[in-house]
Structure 1
Amino acid sequence: MTRRLFSPHGSALVEIAPGMLIAHMHGDWNAEMRALIAAQMKAQVPTLNAAGPWGIINHMHDTLVYGPDIYAQTRADYANRPAGSRLQAVAFVIAPHVEGASLLRSRFESLLDGVIASRVFADSQSAKEWIKAQLQLPDASGLNPGN
């Protein structure tokens, strides 16, 4: 087992809704916190995949000010998801009051370009509606041939 250099900074809460994994993220994260939440999210993947296509909502509650490694690892994790993954879309919720929103929102708007369908929203309800709409589209993996 690898020993962590630092304790995780920040916090997160993962919740499951029909066809969705929602991660509520608080505080300024370090790499250790990012690894911790990624493991919690990955633990839910088999159940979500078994139920059909699904999406993720990453709800940023406090800040977007992270080190560059957080952004790089986030993109890499989505790019390297298993071939059988039924993850179809990723939404980010970034309200205007979130620290760094005016400067860093654009980073999230392009973070997953060429990797998976993604969008940024100012509110949770819009993100949920978009994810639901994405789940109705044909799955690029061929596992969801459409309705």
Structure 2
Amino acid sequence: MTFQPHGELRISVEYPLLISHARGPWNRELVVLWRKQALAHAQAMQRLGPWVGVGVMRGSMTCTLDALALHRETAEYMVAELGAVGSAHVAGPEVEGYAMMRGVFDRMFDGVCPHAHFDRLEDVRPWAEQLLDRRVQSSSDR
């Protein structure tokens, strides 16, 4: 059974950040929509160099298990094929499911790429720049 996408989505690019603004709760159908849009942006960003995905969450962070599975599959592909080197989620305590979903997202990204949580979008950029700097440093050490 398929459903209409639940939640809202907008994607913006501030290289090296691919920022997905989402209002949940969300379902697999919204992740399918996100995947289509995000992959198009990721392919363009790959030509510029390594980048970091950021999810800015509003309303609710809760989602279905099949949505999480597709999100992880997409993240694995972005890391393996499209130059993603990390992922961050931005959500404050006013977002429903904030405390519960932090651990869920940590497990989802475990073994895929570095992942961090932030309360504010402006705090992501220094973390992302450190990731990118470490990547450049490890490349030059080889």
SS at structure 2 position matched to 1:145: helix
Runs of 4+ in 1 over 3 A off after TM superposition: 80-84
Q: Quickly say closer, same or farther: Cα 1:28–1:83, change in 2 above 3 A.
A: closer
* Higher helix residue share: 2
Distance across 2 between alignment mates of 1:146 and 1:63: 41
The sequence identity of aligned pairs, in percent, is: 26
TM-score (norm 1): 0.85
RMSD: 2.0
- Structure 1 residue 82: deviation in Å? 6.8
Partner of 1:72: 69
Number of positions where the alignment pairs a residue of Structure 1 with one of Structure 2:
140
Q: Distance in 2 between matches of 1:146 and 1:84?
A: 21
TM-score when scaled to structure 2? 0.88
Look up the equivalent residue of 1:39 and give its one-letter code: K
Q: 1:103 aligns with which of 100, 105, 115?
A: 100
Q: Determine the structure 1 residue equivalent to 2:18.
A: 21
Return the alpha-carbon distance in structure 1 between the equivalents of residues 135 and 14 of structure 2: 21
Partner of 1:33: 30
Q: Does the Cα contact within 8 Å between 2:24 and 2:63 map onto a contact in 1?
A: no
User: Equivalents in 2 of 1:31, 1:5: separation in Å?
Assistant: 9
**Structure 2: runs of 5 or more not aligned:** none
Corresponding residue for 1:10? 7
Q: 1:27-55 CA deviation, whole Å, 9 max, x = no partner?
A: 21111111001110001122101111111
